[in-house]
Amino acid sequence: MAHKKCIICGKEAAYCIKGTSDCYCEDCAKEFFGDLDLLEKIDQAEKQAKQLKQILNSNISQNTDDKIDDNDQDLIEK
């Protein structure tokens, strides 16, 4: 995935506004917002995405290891 860029100065962005694609480098984020709690740190977002993938992967391997219970069989049959 390409690095996001600061929409103000074009440097590599470190923070994005939650729920938008507006991203800022650390300097601009501090200058414009002061409070970084409003922003989502990109590193964390990527970490969360990786954790989510790991959780999904572990769930998949659990499901293949576990016996299919009655509810799952109903879903497959329908």
Residue 10 Rama label (left phi>0; alpha psi -120 to 50; beta): left
Nearest CB to Zn ion, comparing residues 25 and 39: 25
Nearest CB to Zn ion, comparing residues 2 and 75: 2
Beta bridge partners of 23: 16
Give the per-residue contact string, 1-40, with Zn ion (x = CB under 5 A; - = no): -----x-xx-x-------------x--x------------
Q: How many helices (H) and strands (E) does the chain have?
A: 3, 3
Smallest separation (angstroms) from Zn ion to the CB of 20? 16
